[in-house]
Chain A
Amino acid sequence: MDASLTNVAVGLYFTACVCSVAWVLRRTGERYRVSLAFSTGGFAALSLGLAFRWIEAGHAPAAGLYETLIVFAWASWLVTLLLAIPRGMRKLAALSPFISLVCLGYASTMDPSIRPLVPALRSNWLAIHVAANLLGYAGFAAAFVAGLGLAVALRRGRPAEGWERASVLCVRFGFLFLTYGILTGSVWAQEAWTTYWGWDPKEIWALITWLFYLSFLGMRAERGEGRPSAGRMSRLTALFAVGGFCFVLFTYFGVSLLSKSLHSYLSQT
């Protein structure tokens, strides 16, 4: 059931992407609204699919790369619903379904079967920790899209305030949830792995990602002499929003592939 709903979501997000491209080529309010409607439909299908999977598996769908990719796709549109649409950030809202579609496309190459959890994952912290981290990642993914938009706008000499505002807003959101994710993961690690911080590669790269975005927000919050000029600040914002997402991707995928991590079983289950 959940696999069928995921397929429906793929179709809806794909249609939303087509509508978004049509809207970018010729901006009519109708095309934008149709794109939003298809994306929201995809989000609803994914929500239902995740709920069915949760019931069937008996645990939160947050174990393994397949499940986290589906949640990532779901969280990406949730971020858009919470941040971009209410603030009228139309370009960001129109581009967001692409993030969900990429996640779902990647997930479709994996085995969707439900596997039993390894003992360490049998905890209520699983849902909280993974959801917090993926909401954070989704915020950073939206910031990445906004950062790219900002970079393009700056290069073409077009007004870039909207993109800059969106980048900062999404980084703030992502940073907040990454903080929650790291803290809840640490409390869980104390219960499951005997220590709240074991210098595991995944932990280290999450910390590096957190420090990277912390330095960005610290720079944005700086007042007085230390604050860069407006133009420089915009360029730095684009750089941090795009560059930071590379750290996110490495923490999410790269660590498990390149090094032996306690978190590696996430990609095996």
Chain B
Amino acid sequence: MPRLLDRLASNRATIALLAATAGVSACAAFCAPLCAEAVVGSAAFAALLGLLFLNLLLGTAASLRRARRRPWAPLIRIGALLVLAGAFLGKYAGGRGGARLYEGQQIGEFAERNGGLLTPGFSLRLDRFSVERHPGETLELGISAPDGDVLALYPVTIGRRTGPERMRVLPVRYLPDFKLLDSGEIVSKSRDPNNPALEIEVEAGGERERGWLFARFPHFPPIGLSRTLRGGRLIFFDRGSERIQSYSSRVTVLEGAREAASGTVEVNRPMKFGGYRIYQSSYDPVGWQWSGLEIVRDPGLPLVYCGYILLALGTTLWTGWGRFE
């Protein structure tokens, strides 16, 4: 038994276990995402990491004895140990679940990936879901064939001529939310890209006329361009209005009927409550009606971060002052 432990604590065992971890990870990376999750989430892979944990634990005692000469070795080993310990703790004592919420909806159970339900002991109400886009930032003009295929695309800058050689197209004005008032005046109802429209001046065959193209209605005949286009099709794309700049959810946490907390959750800014982190994880790509929220409890996270600090410190000392000659 002591001999087996010696072998398990050796540097060769560390290299072999790391190589095996790298090999399995590489296989997982080549698999489809679902299969990859099955590989790295399997009991066999957990056992492999468990062996690595044991190896690091046993080897740390030896590295501590040489700590005066090589202070980085125990730092790196303990750092890696803490990361693995935190990962195990998070995997077996933590929980995560997600939900799609519409404005005003309240939910107390969150769907886990394994099909179960996570009940965190509080419920979440979505008060408001906001989406910001980039209307008018990236405009394009397309020439389309009768069957609808886009044959060519031209970038659009207001006031600069664009389009094919035979047809001179001058983009005059962009409105994110086109509205024709009763008075005949054309305005933008809001800054939101609800009905992006582009006013263009077309010169072709000795004729010149002005008209409007609508990004949301590409099959709608352009207004006021019948003579110059002569059946040809111009399509206007407002790429920026299709691209999300940011999205956020104003949520209230309820314990029973009591409002325990409220805040705004957005990507890169999770909200913390009762040992859980509430994340903005997704959104309704069609119509932006629902907000995808995920709640995560990971008691191993502090250990993982402590491990990262030790790993960074140990690696800095090792690569800076270690002997490799």
Contact = CB atoms under 8 A, between A and B. Distances in A.
Interface string B246-276: 1100000000000000000011111000000
A50 B294 CA distance: 36
Interface stretch (B14-22, B167-175, B181-189, B209-217): B14-22
Contacts of A4: none
Contacts of B30: 259
B25 A204 contact: yes
A186 B29 CA distance: 17
A220 B324 contact: yes
Contacts of B19: 211, 215
B304 interface: yes
B11 A226 contact: yes
Interface stretch (B142-150, B219-227, B308-316): B308-316
Contacts of A173: 319
B268 A123 contact: yes
Interface stretch (B33-41, B103-111, B115-123, B192-200): B33-41
Interface stretch (A38-46, A94-102, A113-121): A113-121
A33 to B, nearest CB: 29
B15 A218 contact: yes
A82 B85 CA distance: 37
A176 B320 CA distance: 9
A188 B277 CA distance: 14
A76 to B, nearest CB: 19
B134 interface: yes
A220 B322 CA distance: 10
B162 interface: no
Given A186-B308, A191-B269, A205 B294 contact: no
Interface stretch (A24-32, A65-73, A142-150, A192-200): A192-200
B284 to A, nearest CB: 14
B296 interface: yes
B293 to A, nearest CB: 10
A183 B311 contact: yes
A224 to B, nearest CB: 11
B29 A168 contact: no
A122 B305 contact: no
Given A168-B324, A221-B322, A116 B240 contact: yes
A176 B316 CA distance: 6
Contacts of B301: 190, 196
B96 interface: yes
A56 interface: no
A14 interface: no
B22 A208 contact: yes
Size category of the binding interface on chain B: 35 or more
B207 interface: no
B76 to A, nearest CB: 9
A92 to B, nearest CB: 17
Contact of B296 (A195, A208, A212): A195
Given A208-B22, A226-B11, A199 B37 contact: yes
A57 B301 CA distance: 34
B67 interface: no
Interface in A154-212: 165, 168, 172-173, 175-176, 179-180, 183, 186-188, 190-192, 194-197, 199, 201, 204-205, 207-208, 211-212
Chief secondary structure at chain A's binding surface: helix
Contacts of B267: 119-120, 122, 192
B29 A116 contact: no
B245 interface: yes
B61 interface: no
Given A186-B308, A207-B22, A218 B11 contact: yes
A263 interface: no
A92 B277 CA distance: 49
Contact of A175 (B87, B279, B319): B319
Q: Which 5 A-B pairs have the closest CB atoms?
A: A220-B324, A204-B29, A119-B267, A172-B319, A176-B319
26 contacts: A115-B138, A116-B134, A116-B243, A118-B243, A119-B244, A119-B247, A119-B268, A120-B268, A172-B322, A176-B320, A187-B305, A194-B277, A194-B281, A197-B87, A199-B40, A201-B36, A204-B26, A205-B26, A214-B18, A217-B318, A218-B11, A218-B15, A220-B325, A221-B322, A222-B11, A226-B12
Interface of B: 11-12, 15, 18-19, 21-22, 25-26, 28-30, 33, 36-37, 40, 87, 96, 134, 137-138, 240, 243-247, 266-270, 277, 279, 281, 294, 296, 301, 304-305, 308, 311-312, 315-316, 318-320, 322-325
Interface of A: 115-116, 118-120, 122-123, 165, 168, 172-173, 175-176, 179-180, 183, 186-188, 190-192, 194-197, 199, 201, 204-205, 207-208, 211-212, 214-215, 217-218, 220-222, 226, 255, 259-260
